[in-house]
Amino acid sequence: MVSEPVVLFFLLGAIAGLTKSDLKIPMAVYEALSIFLLLAIGLQGGVKLAESELVPLLLPGLAVLLVGALIPLMAFPVLRFMGGMRRADAASIAGHYGSVSVVTFSVAVAFLAQKGLDFEGHIIVFLVLLEIPAIVIGILLARAGTGGNIRWGKTLHEVFFGKSVFLLIGGLLIGYAAGPEHIGALKPMFFDLFKGVLALFLLEMGLVASSRIAEVRSYGKFLVGFAIVMPVVSAIMGVLLGWGLGMSQGGTMLLATLYASASYIAAPAAMRIAVPQANPALSIGASLGVTFPFNIFIGVPLYFWMADLLYAIGG
């Protein structure tokens, strides 16, 4: 995986950050790159979804959401009681790890393209839907027993109409409406340039991640260990579920990657509104400073190996 060029761009950015280079990506460029990636992923998923039947996806979709909801429920007691964290911090981090990372998903898609493997288009629907239950559960865990009021209106608006989910859903609907027969004019922009734009985005992510590593020091080895072990446990759940649902090897690997990823876009925005007493440095430091680089260097090829092994054994 390290030989994958887009991953090397992340490494370049991380080295630049750690060595105090004056390399910077202008905020306007970063915003443009993120908008492109979110739309491109949605469009590609919508086109694939247009080639699928929707009704048979209802039960698998429900299963994916239920298993996804288990992740923050598993993470919370580990953080709260084994890590000794405050309720608000443990709940916020649990919500981040139940939610998903679009960029990690993008790296996994690029990895599958390198392997020449396809995947089900409805996995993009799962990508969108998995943002929601984890954030809601994280908020409920934070407020349980505190008697605090939850500003559901603002929180749900942030979840559904925040940039990441809004653009993913919008791209998905446009891609679905256009279908493979009418998407051709957009392919040079949103399909052919995808990996190049992802490389530039990962350069910025390397810069950002290198600046977040210090923020996990307050909980030391425990939080670092959690940020590495939790994704692997979640990925195992994803591989088993994907195989059980009869998904392709590529789709199963992507589902495992979704479960293993941790949000640093949608979840921080929602938690900032609903759980203001939580320390965002801990959740973002763990998800972006530890889990994200772990996933793109080790996790993605590990999850592919896990899926490959299971399909080789189970057929």
Number of domains the chain contains = 1
Say if 224 falls within a structural domain: no
Report the pLDDT value the prediction gives residue 315, as an integer from 0 to 100: 62
Report the pLDDT value the prediction gives residue 42, as an integer from 0 to 100: 82
DSSP assignment string, 97-146: HHS--HHHHHHHHHHHHHHT----TTHHHHHHHTHHHHHHHHHHHHHTTT
Domain of 136 in residue numbering reads as 24-208+265-278
Cα 296 from Cα 251, distance rounded (Å): 17
Say if 234 falls within a structural domain: no
pLDDT digits (tens, 9 = 90+) for 95-122: 999 989 888 998 999 899 989 998 887 8
Say if 285 falls within a structural domain: no
% of the chain with per-residue pLDDT over 90: 37
Say if 156 falls within a structural domain: yes
How large is the average pLDDT for residues 74-96? Answer: 93
Is the pLDDT assigned to residue 1 strictly greater than 60? no
Of the candidate ranges 91-100, 160-169, 256-265, the one whose mean pLDDT is the lowest: 160-169
Say if 98 falls within a structural domain: yes
Distance of CA 284 to the CA centre of its chain: 13
- pLDDT band at residue 308 under the 50/70/90 scheme: very high
pLDDT digits (tens, 9 = 90+) for 149-159: 666 677 677 66
More confident residue, 21 or 10: 21
Say if 219 falls within a structural domain: no
